Structure 1
Amino acid sequence: MTDAAAPLIEVEGLEAWYGKRRILHDVDFRVDTGEIRVIMGGSGSGKSTLLRQILGLHRPTRGSIRLFGTDIVNAGQRELQQVRRRLGVSFQGGALLTSLSVGDNVALPLREHTNLDENQIRIMSRMKLEVVNLGGFHDLMPSQLSGGMVKRAALARAIVMDPRLLFFDEPSAGLDPVVSAELDELILRLRDALRMTIVVVTHELDSAFKIADTITVLDQGSVLMTDTVDAVRRSDNERIQDLLNRRPRDVVVDADAYLRRLTEEEA
C-alpha cells in the first residue's frame, strides 16, 4: 500500500542526454496527492523530455524516478506495466486511432487491461464521454471531430480507468481561446470531482495561471523554480520574467563553438 501522504511523483538528480547533448540537468521534481502541477518553459526547455522520463518511455542517464513509491528506473517490465495502469495520459495531438470510432478509442484501455464484459465497457466508456461533454459522439470517427473534440475524446480515454495520476501534454495547443478556456475548466472539474492528481505540460501562460496549484519552470533543462502561481509571477529571476513577459533574448553566435560542435557530431 502507498502512503497517502507520500508524493505520487519523486524525481531526484535527473539527467538526460540525447547523443552528446544534455537535455536535463540535475532535475529534482515532486508532486503531492491532489495537486495540479504545471510544467512550464519555453520551446526546447526540456518539458516534454521530463514528461517522457516520468512516464518511463525513456531511461535517464542518471537519477531516480519514483511513481506511487515504485522505482520505475529499475523496475521490471511487469512492475512498470502495473504502475502505468494507474496513470492516464492525454497526448498533445490526441493520438486517437483513426481506424476506430470515438467510443472504441475510449474503450480500448478497458479491453486491453480488464476482464469486463462488453456491456460494462460500453457503459463506462460512454460515461467518460459524458464527463468530457461528448455524450452521443461515440459512433463518430476521429476525422469527424474538431480539434477541441479530439482533445476531449483523448481525455475521456485517459480517464476511462479512473487513474490516480493524469498527465496532459500541451492541452491547449492549436485551440482557440474559448475552447482552451473550456478545457481548463474541465481539468479543474476532474481534479475536484474525481480526486485526481494532474500534471500539465504547457507554454500557455493564461492556462497555466488558471489551473495550477504549483508551477515548475524549466529553462535549458534545469529547474529555475517550483512554487505557487503568485510566487512565480513575483519572481525576480530574469529568465522567468523573460518567459512571462515574452521578452526575446539576445542570441550570441560563437562561430568557433559551432564548428567544434559540428566536428564532434560528425566524429
Structure 2
Amino acid sequence: MMKMKIMLAASILCAMTTTCAGAADMTDNIENMAGFPSISSINIPKDDNIVSAVWNGIVQEDTKSFFQKVKFPKNTDFTPLGKDGKFGLLTVTEEGNSVSAFVMNCEFAPVVGKEAMKDAFDAPRLSGKSVSELYGCNVALLGMESVLNGMFLEMAKRINEKPETDPKIPFNMLGVSFLNVEQIHRAQDRPRIYTSGVRAVFFVDGFAVPVYGKGYVMKYGDKYRLFSVLTTDSANEMVKKAADRIAAASVK
C-alpha cells in the first residue's frame, strides 16, 4: 500500500516535471542511459483506487488534451507544443510583466479505479477508504524528496556501471531539496477540484534551479481532467493565480 501511495505522489511530480516538451524523449534517454523503464511502461497495479485511476489516466493511449475547450483568463495564453496539445507553454501577463510555465493537460475516462474516483468526487462524504488513501498519499508526498534523491543516486550508479561511461559522472550530479509542499487538498468543493504543489530546488552538476510545480485533478461530465504547471520559483505567484483560474474554468 505504501508503494502505491508513493506512486501517486510520484505521479503528481511526474505530471509536473513531464510538462517540458521533450518529456517522452527524456524518459527514453534515461532508459537508454540507465536501464530505467519509460514512464508509460511502469507497471501500476490496476486496482480500484485513486492511485491507479490517475496514473493510468495519464499514460493511457486515448488520453486527450482539453485546454482547447477551456475559456482562459484574459491575461493568459496557451501555446501547444506538438500535434496533440497535451504539452505546451503557458504565458501569463500582469502589469506589463510576463512569465511562462510548461504545461501538461489531459482528459480521460478511467479504465480502473472508477468507484474510487466516484467516491472522491461525487460522494457527499468521503468513505473511510478514500480518506485513508488521500492521507497516505500526503505522507508519501512529504517523503518524496528522499525518494527522488535515491532515484538520482541509483541512476548515476547505473550510468557509471556501463563500460562506455568515461569519465564517470559524480554521484551528486543530480539532487533536489523541497522548500515547501502543498499537500493534496480540495481547492474547490462544488464541483470538487483536488490540487497539490511543490516548491523545490533542483541541483544539476553544482547549479541550483529553483522551481515551482502545481497539479490539479477534477471531474467534468463523465470524464476527469488533469493538468499541471512547472515554472521558475520566482514566477510562482503569477502562475499559481492563473492556474487556479484555469482550474475553475475547466469544470464549467
Fold in common (TM above 0.5): no
Give the structure with the higher percent strand: 2
From the CA coordinates, give the structure whose radius of gyration is larger: 1
Q: TM-score, normalised by structure 2?
A: 0.25
Q: TM-score, normalised by structure 1?
A: 0.24
